[in-house]
Structure 1
Amino acid sequence: MNHSIYSADRMTHLKIVVVALVMGILVAGFGISARTSSDEGFQQTASTPVMKAGKPVVVTNSGNSVVR
């Protein structure tokens, strides 16, 4: 039995690639199937009052002098 990936033969590399591909497909399939497709009871409602923007404010001069 080879315990090093560097000295492994072509068939061992192929087995590793196939197992990784199958496990990746299984994980992706599980992730897709675990996603909820119905929105029953999952509506988001605002628990705090919504703040609306007021009138725009323009600041032209702060009155401070700049010291350099």
Structure 2
Amino acid sequence: MNHSIYSADRTTHLKIVVVALVAGILVAGFGITAHNSSDEGYAQTARVMKAGKAVTITSSGTSLVR
């Protein structure tokens, strides 16, 4: 048994290529299925934030807990 890739025979090279191809397909498939898909598609919608109650800031050193 030879452990060098340079002196390996043709079937060994073919096995390495097939294993790498299958691994690449599995990684790409996992990446596609793990992609966060939403019902909105690629359209962007504006999110509206409404202002709350007005807050008055004073210079006193006391703190107010509500």
Could you say whether these structures have the same fold, taking a TM-score greater than 0.5 normalized by the shorter chain as the test? Answer: yes
* Percent identity of equivalent pairs: 80
Structure 2 unpaired stretches of 5+: 50-66
* SS of residue paired to 1:29: helix
Runs of 4+ in structure 1 off by over 4 angstroms are none
Q: Which residue of 1 aligns with 2:15?
A: 15
Q: Which residue of 2 aligns with 1:2?
A: 2
Distance in 2 separating the partners of 1:5 and 1:30: 29
Q: 1:39 to 1:7 in 2, by over 3 A?
A: same
- Partner deviation per Cα, 1:23-65 (whole Å, 9 max, x = no partner): 000000000000011168xx885x9xxxxxxxxxxxxxxxxxx
TM-score (norm 2): 0.57
TM-score (norm 1): 0.55
RMSD (CA atoms): 2.4
Structure 1 unpaired stretches of 5+: 48-68
